[in-house]
Amino acid sequence: MKYNPNVHDCAAAPIAEAWSWVEDGNSPDLIDMCQAVPAYLPPQPLLDHLAEAIRNGEGATYTDICGIEPLREALAENIRGRYQGDCQADDIIITAGCNQAFCSVIDTLCQKGDEVILPLPCYFNHQMWLSARGINTQYLSFNPDTAQPSVEEARTLISDRSRAIVLVTPNNPTGATYSPDCIEAFYQLAKEHGIALIVDETYRDFIDYVIPPHALFEHNDWRDTFVHLYSFSKVFSLTGHRTGAVAAGPGLIEQMQKVQDCTAISAPHAGQLAALYGLQHLHDWKLKKSAELQQRAALIKQAFSHAELKYRLICAGAYFAYVEHPFDSKSREVVKALIKNFDLVSLPGSYFGQNQDKFIRLAFANVHEKHFDEVINRLLQSQSTLEL
């Protein structure tokens, strides 16, 4: 068989490749900081509710392409409260996870040869999808001192083939939260040039819940420019149920339904029921888990302040810590050596775009803070024992 060269030349799935370097995944000494997964199951009331719904035959059928109406209404209400702006159920389409949300939006906006602007480091699945679709990626350089993308640099990259700017905040892989002013500046730039600003806010529930992450939903004409991506996977521990969402203007929602119908038809019904229950009943539980993750981010920052540690913490937040390693070797070799010699699993920076070989990503959400001192101890040992 002959393969699509864009897919053939695309990088391998990073999580699977990194785990292929682990010889014994059941080792009691293994510290897994590889994949961004919650360390806890959904709360029992959600599990009981979903089990009863499935026993009663709910969740076994297709839904409307855009998703079940109560979930879209509940998410729109949640957005209005979180962002102090306007969003209605008709602005929302429910997807099979936030990855499908991104892929479907890109397929709706772009054709082969078009351009999308991504800040470095970038979420690897975004990069992979653009590559597989033959869409050219224009990268914004990474500033390790601020971990914030430059709108001035983005302005120089816009061409007549530009279709979108993509921001992920809180960021994967750095954990950085982009300031409201930064996001607003990118919105104004996208609006000026008639392109989309796609903001992936999968991790928005793990930052301060009082302050709105940005003011984009307050603009009367936000639907002309802004595309909001969201996921229920992390906030309600529903990763396997594959439930995400897009909030956008009517034109994009109308066209995106064609893509949705050809790929997922509709998001998994059971996952939509679980997400609806979460929005309606789990606000306090969500805030508790958010506080725990914020505390964990603070503790990993504290752990990295060790005076003898040569690994430099660039940023930490939400689920992630982005770290500059002290070796001259490529990040893949560093990660392999940490796995082989110290049972510490992370991801190489090279998975997150060009010029990232000096960094590794640690996903700390599924590692209890009681293990952070041991993580630092293993990194300290690696400084003097690894021959790279």
Residues 149, 102: one domain? yes
- Confidence tier at 388 by pLDDT (50, 70, 90): low
Domain boundary among 234, 253, 282: 282
Q: What CATH number should be reported for the domain holding residue 199?
A: 3.40.640.10
Residues 111, 20: one domain? no
Q: Among 144, 36, 89, which Cα is nearest to 276's?
A: 89
Residues 290, 265: one domain? no
Domain boundary among 248, 266, 282: 282
Look at phi and psi of residue 309 and say left if phi exceeds 0, alpha if psi is from -120 to 50, else beta. Answer: beta
Domain boundary among 282, 309, 328: 282
Rounded Cα distance, 74 and 166, in Å? 26
Total-model pTM: 0.95
Residues 320, 278: one domain? no
Domain assignment of residue 334, given as a range: 5-41+285-385
**8 A C-beta contact, residue 31 and residue 367:** yes
Checking if the pLDDT of 386 tops 90, the result is no
Residues 271, 126: one domain? yes
Q: Is 155 exposed, middle or buried (0-12, 13-18, 19+ CB in 10 A)?
A: middle
Residues 256, 277: one domain? yes
Rounded Cα distance, 42 and 29, in Å? 26
**Structural domain count of the chain:** 2
Residues 245, 298: one domain? no
Q: Among 375, 372, 347, 381, which Cα is nearest to 34's?
A: 347
Q: Give, in degrees to the nearest 5, the angle at Cα 184 between 85 and 137.
A: 120
- The residue count of the chain comes to 388
List, for residues 1-37, the tens digit of each pLDDT value. Answer: 999 998 988 888 888 988 999 987 778 889 999 988 8
Rounded Cα distance, 342 and 339, in Å? 6
Residues 149, 86: one domain? yes
Rounded Cα distance, 319 and 66, in Å? 29
List, for residues 139-166, the tens digit of each pLDDT value. Answer: 999 999 999 999 999 999 999 999 999 9
Q: What number is the average pLDDT over the span 281-301?
A: 95
Rg of the chain over all Cα atoms, to the nearest angstrom: 21
* pLDDT recorded at residue 11: 82
Residues 121, 155: one domain? yes
Long-range contacts of 176-179 (CB under 8 A, 24+ apart): 176/147, 176/148, 176/315, 176/317, 176/322, 177/207, 177/213, 177/317, 177/318, 178/148, 178/149, 179/148
Residues 50, 33: one domain? no
Residues 328, 245: one domain? no
Beta bridge partners of 344: 31
What does pLDDT average to over the chain? 95
Residues 50, 126: one domain? yes
Tell the residue number behind the tokens 């920052």, with chain if given: 301
Q: Give, in degrees to the nearest 5, the angle at Cα 75 between 73 and 81.
A: 105
List, for residues 87-144, the tens digit of each pLDDT value. Answer: 999 999 999 999 999 999 999 999 999 999 999 999 999 999 999 999 999 999 999 9
Checking if the pLDDT of 387 tops 80, the result is no
* pLDDT recorded at residue 25: 76
Q: And the tokens for 53?
A: 């719904």
**8 A C-beta contact, residue 128 and residue 10:** yes
List, for residues 251-273, the tens digit of each pLDDT value. Answer: 999 999 999 999 999 999 999 99
Q: What CATH number should be reported for the domain holding residue 28?
A: 3.90.1150.10
